[in-house]
Structure 1
Amino acid sequence: MVVLILALLAQSPAPAAATPPAVTAAAADRRNVEVPDTDTHMVLADFATKDAWEAHRARVRLQILTAAGLDPMPEKTPLHPQRFGKLERDGYTIEKVLLETWPGFFLGGNLYVPTTPGKHPAVVSPHGHWNYGRLEHQPLASIPLRAANLARRGHVVFIYDMVGYNDTIQVPHSFNGRRETLWAFSPLGLQLWDSIRVVDYIASLPEVDDTRIGATGASGGGTQTFLLAAVDDRIAYAAPVNMVSAYMQGGSYCENAPGLRLGISNLDIAATLAPKPMLLISATGDWTKHVPQEEYPAIKRIYDLYGAGEKLTEHQVDAPHNYNQETREHVYRFLDQQAFGRTDDGKEKSAPIEKLGDMLALMNHPLPAHALNYDGLLADWQRVARAQADATEDLVVLRARFARVLAVPSLAHVSRDWMGVISRGDGDRILSAWTPGKGRPLVVVHPDGVPAGLALPEVEAARKAKRPLLVLGVFQTGSSVAPRKRTHNHWLTFNVSDDQARVHDIAASLAWLKVDGGADVLATGAARYWAAVAVAATGGSHALAFDVNALSGDDQVLEEQCFIPALQRAGGLRTVQRLVARSDSWPRSSSGQGSLR
């Protein structure tokens, strides 16, 4: 019998100058070495064909929806729109609007409608992190002037709140936590849902031609603009302002849901709009200063795959971060061209700036009695998540959704070297001890790594039975522990959690085995969660050699033992139990740990 790696290494001391495989593997593991954050320089990959891009585009779209907690999409319940407080102005009207975008959750905004008859194109217009939100009026940004000028030019315009601003105050603007992360409950998800429901509302208006709906916003509103355009095909054209950048991906929780930018950036997201018309506005005084030389050419390569390079345009303003008059005038011309097929000089005209009380929907107009607070909204979000997972009868669909949440990487290229290090592609490194044999393989995962796994009595029993045996030292366990930067506020937006990486390692190791009949997976302690989740996501004929029903699906337990963004949103342990099989070689025991024959 030949037992490779750590078992041999433990018996034979290495030369003094040698570096132990564990140290080498952990130090070389890309997940420890490359830890991107919101300020990491990002590059949009090259795509040789339109088909290759469109396959990537589909993945990006699903990644956005998964990170936002919108996969599957929640039910679109009645909006119960409240439209009131009309102001008559020269060439347009303004009304206050409240929309019930989720039962008990209300979004505030203002609707600007041209006074000309007939159907009009529309613009949905989220705002950035300005002090007054959608009502900001100052030299660097005036949202009311933008809306008034567009309405005079013939566009129906809806300006609406970020969560936690103005009329949309049932939850704070910035919130996060390990519980919320498990349920994919985030400001980004709520705002993207609000934006989708805004399009529902705008498209339903008798004044609107729903084939001509555009979107524009700056800063955080720019992020909302390209996220919405990426997932909602009803957006026909867009002008994200001062936000598409290879150098900064957004600094707020409302722009950085966990899992959003694993392997992608805002360039990938913005490029999903191709081949629809898009105007990229940048500024010399912020993180978009390189757009004409870097981001615009990169995204244009995607447009060129469609033969539509002319549909992507850009303009840079010599100013700090802004949506100032020069920027607005370029956007007016762009939106006019898309909506009407004509344009003029785009010069902005003055318009009255309304009193805040005349614009705020909740001024002397309280929320309905059934309005939810933060805890109530989270509880209802959790209820919907459980119901959607439980109602999904097709296990293929359920498994695919679960795999998206886990962000399981490609397992097409998994190898194992002579030192026992299993590698996925050129990045992940997994320590292992392998003993060939006959029959169904046993894969062992211990939370303290390979030596602890080798010491299990079940492993000795498998050796005596001459079964194939693979003992794993998964990410950041035992001798695989290595320094990893986790200090950036939004690090889970760009990096998988430790437990998520452990699941990836188990999935990759099962792929390396290449056994048609599957393997039995034995795990102890917290590793039982990682193994159960890995088998649930990968499918095949693999079975668990422990009682998955003994595992707790409570939030607090998962926060400590299996912390994976959106795990609960996908159904958590209830879904895992539906997707895994139990090994016939494992008899049920009162302890729930099991034993192997």
Structure 2
Amino acid sequence: MTEAAVEFDRRAAVVRHLNQHFPAPQFESREEWEARARELRAHILASAGLSPMPERCPLDPIVTGEIEGDDYVIRRVAIQTLPGFYLGGNLYLPKGKQGPFPGIANPHGHWKTGRIEHQERGSIPARCITFARMGCVAFAYDMIGYNDTRQLPHTFGGDREALWGISLGGLQLWNSIRALDYLESLPMVDPERLACTGASGGGTQTFLLSAVDDRVKVAAPVNMISLHMQGGCLCENPPNLRVECTNVEIGALMAPRPLLLVAATGDWTRNTLEEEFPAIQAVYRLMGAEEKVHALRFDAPHNYNLQSREAVYAWMGRWLLGINDPDQLKEQPIDLPDPKVLLTFPDGQLPEGAADQEGITRYLVERSEKQLAAHWPRDQETARQFRETYLPLLSHSLGVAAPAPELVTATPAGGSTRAQRLILGRKGAGDRVPARLHRSRRQKGSAPGVLLVTPEGIRAADGPGITSRLVGQLSREDRHVLLIDTFLTGGSKAPETREKEISEIKYFTTYNRTDIGNRVQDILTALAFLRAQEGVSRVQVVGVGEAGLWAVLACALDGRVDAAAIDLAGFEMTDDHFLEKLNVPFLRRAGDLVTAAALCAPRRLSFWRVHPFFPMGKVFDAYAASGKPGAVQFTSMALDAEAVQAWLGL
């Protein structure tokens, strides 16, 4: 960034991206890491659309044939990971050995032929045959869009799907979870000795699975974890995933279970021994498990070649089989004249009832809706459970949190005693939120503080219209009134280079909050500031126009707003309207504005300019469950200053 960047809000001036060189994370104590780990695991699942965790349908494994070697058997298989959605793969079994055996999941990277790739730089069949010869069951399975798993393309997903938490990366993580389910279901597999390894994109699948599923007891992501490059494919970049983290932190979530990092001099892992490994090793040290993490670097291009594979065999042998002599685990030649014999559906004919792309997408949307309905508050106990589940989801979707008062900064920027100008922010975050505080004329005692949020920002109070009438009405009632320019509104500006920078990078929302998320954060920051002011008895919110949508989201997350008047501006609650006005990844998966309204119960909430199709009945039900059915109201009328004042004054 240029020197001029310091004049701007850091969120507008700094655009994060996958090829950025990120600093190594540092943690001072085990307690600090464990708190971060809990939050990060929840964030990964939310970003993948897997929170709440979906029900698992029957796997209904299909076996279409076997290939027998002298000391191994390969089955051509497919499992059903969603109703009508099949994951193709190969199951490699030991022959002539007595089980139960460890089970190893083998996701593949972006090899041209996927799980059947068999060449010098990488061979999935050679790796899995060797695992079988070692006395392990290995399951090699497709990435979406490869080989037998072509019901969806490897380009699947867009903004509409993202609203519902549906993404290529999320589905692949789900497939990996179901791959473990499959291994665990096999009578010859020891469910206490499951492992995972893959290279490149398969390395990404390995560390994501290991991060969220503690059934993985040993992991070996190869040629992937880096502070220099986070993953170049759509399947590695679910929206929101790396807004405030990197693959190093995600990889460290394996601690204290055994983890091997294999690096290469010829790709983005070239600095592993100097940068990424020490950062992960430090986490293992905090966990008292430093001996369970190791890293190796080979002089080679991007690969999962023989040298890398044999390092992994030694690691798996040590932790899964108790074999400490690597020479016992060397790869032997294999006889595989044509890898295409490994295909489960060589003619492309899928099982009867296989769903198409539209059907799979529809199922996933309906699944989200059914989960939300099942969690919806019916009484005070289910209301508590609903809050525990969906409040974090809403926070992860937007990438925001209410700041502690001591983290809020307020820098004077002129004005008068009664109308003070300020720049609000959060310590260390680089936020710059222009604000104007109109203090109550009351000389003694305290008065309510009202945060007034508009799409135009502070300047809306200086012209004709509802905002200036609201400021006048509220001031006459001796209320403190705070106006702000939320992110990129009013006086909040971005560098001229921002749009160009965004256009030149991939997967913006994987690494950066949306503008909506930043605006909701600014409202939360302003609420924390206003609440801490001397003479403010309680805090209330008024959201005007489109800003009403941001305000209700913030009210849900703040949890302490006494009352709010929210202009819904005729919002239609359709995907098209969300894409136009509230395009936030997995916001609809989190229950969107309806969940936000329900989370506000039992606090007083008044909605204005409500579209006829807004699900008012669900919000009434949530308020009834909270014991305050009369604390919410809806009207199709436009905001009225006197009526708003009356509502806030109750």
TM-score class, shorter-chain normalisation, is over 0.9
Distance 1:429 1:242, change over 3 A: same
Matches within 5 A, 1:153-302: 153-302=134-283
Q: Tell me, what secondary structure is at the counterpart of 2:491? A: helix
Aligned residue in 1 for 2:393? 401
Give the residue type in structure 1 aligned to 2:451: V
Q: Is the 8 A contact 2:545 2:568 kept in 1?
A: no
Give the residue type in structure 2 aligned to 1:452: A
Matches within 5 A, 1:146-545: 146-342=127-323, 343-345=325-327, 346-353=329-336, 355-364=338-347, 366-392=349-375, 393=377, 394-397=385-388, 398-409=390-401, 411-412=403-404, 413-419=407-413, 420-426=422-428, 427-437=430-440, 439-455=447-463, 456=467, 457-483=469-495, 484=498, 485-487=501-503, 488-514=505-531, 518-545=538-565
- Shift, 1:308, TM fit: 1.7
Alpha-carbon separation, structure 2, partners of 1:131 and 1:367: 22
Q: Tell me, what secondary structure is at the counterpart of 2:596? A: helix
Alpha-carbon separation, structure 2, partners of 1:252 and 1:61: 22
- Shift, 1:340, TM fit: 1.1
Q: Select between 265-274 and 43-52 the one with higher mean Cα deviation.
A: 43-52
Q: Is the 8 A contact 1:445 1:453 kept in 2?
A: no
Q: Select between 513-522 and 39-48 the one with higher mean Cα deviation.
A: 513-522
Q: Is the 8 A contact 1:217 1:240 kept in 2?
A: yes
Is 1:570 the counterpart of 2:582 in the alignment?
A: no
Aligned residue in 2 for 1:36? 16
Distance 1:584 1:557, change over 3 A: closer
Alpha-carbon separation, structure 1, partners of 2:586 and 2:425: 26
- Shift, 1:415, TM fit: 2.4
**Unaligned 5+ runs, structure 2:** 378-384, 414-421, 441-445, 609-632, 646-650
Q: Select between 522-531 and 262-271 the one with higher mean Cα deviation.
A: 522-531
Give the residue type in structure 2 aligned to 1:84: T
Q: Tell me, what secondary structure is at the counterpart of 2:80? A: strand
Residues 288-312 of structure 1: CA deviation (Å, up to 9, x unaligned): 0001111111111111112221211
Out of 129, 136, 143, the position equivalent to 2:117 is: 136
Residues 201-229 of structure 1: CA deviation (Å, up to 9, x unaligned): 10110110111111100000000000000
Q: Select between 582-591 and 320-329 the one with higher mean Cα deviation.
A: 582-591
Q: Tell me, what secondary structure is at the counterpart of 1:545? A: strand
Distance 1:594 1:350, change over 3 A: farther
Q: Select between 412-421 and 483-492 the one with higher mean Cα deviation.
A: 483-492
Alpha-carbon separation, structure 1, partners of 2:347 and 2:459: 68
Residues 350-383 of structure 1: CA deviation (Å, up to 9, x unaligned): 1122534421111247223322222211111111
Runs of 4+ in 1 over 6 A off after TM superposition: 584-587
Aligned residue in 1 for 2:66? 86
Question: Which fold has the larger relative contact order, with Cα–Cα distance below 8 Å and residues 6 or more apart in sequence?
Answer: 1
Aligned residue in 2 for 1:10? none
**Unaligned 5+ runs, structure 1:** 1-23
- Shift, 1:320, TM fit: 0.4
Out of 523, 531, 551, the position equivalent to 2:571 is: 551
Alpha-carbon separation, structure 2, partners of 1:590 and 1:569: 26
Q: Is the 8 A contact 2:91 2:137 kept in 1?
A: yes
Distance 1:371 1:518, change over 3 A: farther
Distance 1:379 1:251, change over 3 A: same
Give the residue type in structure 1 aligned to 2:409: S
Is 1:591 the counterpart of 2:637 in the alignment?
A: yes
Number of positions where the alignment pairs a residue of Structure 1 with one of Structure 2: 575
Alpha-carbon separation, structure 1, partners of 2:8 and 2:332: 59
Q: Is the 8 A contact 1:416 1:423 kept in 2?
A: yes
Q: Is the 8 A contact 1:430 1:474 kept in 2?
A: yes
Q: Tell me, what secondary structure is at the counterpart of 1:519? A: strand
Q: Tell me, what secondary structure is at the counterpart of 1:528? A: helix
- Shift, 1:410, TM fit: 5.4
Matches within 5 A, 1:3-22: none
Is 1:96 the counterpart of 2:76 in the alignment?
A: yes
Distance 1:312 1:568, change over 3 A: same
Alpha-carbon separation, structure 1, partners of 2:538 and 2:137: 58
CA RMSD of aligned residues (A): 2.1
Distance 1:500 1:89, change over 3 A: same
Distance 1:452 1:364, change over 3 A: same
Alpha-carbon separation, structure 2, partners of 1:508 and 1:25: 22
Is 1:579 the counterpart of 2:599 in the alignment?
A: yes
- Shift, 1:573, TM fit: 2.1
Q: Tell me, what secondary structure is at the counterpart of 1:418? A: strand
Q: Select between 542-551 and 382-391 the one with higher mean Cα deviation.
A: 542-551
- Shift, 1:474, TM fit: 0.1
Alpha-carbon separation, structure 2, partners of 1:372 and 1:205: 26
Q: Is the 8 A contact 1:26 1:480 kept in 2?
A: no
Aligned residue in 1 for 2:628? none
Residues 439-472 of structure 1: CA deviation (Å, up to 9, x unaligned): 3222111111210144422222112222110111
Q: Is the 8 A contact 2:169 2:238 kept in 1?
A: yes
Q: TM-score, normalised by structure 1?
A: 0.92
Q: Tell me, what secondary structure is at the counterpart of 2:448? A: coil
Alpha-carbon separation, structure 2, partners of 1:230 and 1:519: 39
Distance 1:233 1:432, change over 3 A: same
Q: Select between 575-584 and 521-530 the one with higher mean Cα deviation.
A: 575-584
Alpha-carbon separation, structure 2, partners of 1:448 and 1:26: 23
- Shift, 1:265, TM fit: 0.4
Aligned residue in 2 for 1:6? none
Give the residue type in structure 1 aligned to 2:215: R
Q: TM-score, normalised by structure 2?
A: 0.85
Is 1:123 the counterpart of 2:104 in the alignment?
A: yes
Distance 1:109 1:314, change over 3 A: same
Residues 134-171 of structure 1: CA deviation (Å, up to 9, x unaligned): 01111111111111111111110000000111111111
- Shift, 1:579, TM fit: 2.0
- Shift, 1:479, TM fit: 2.1
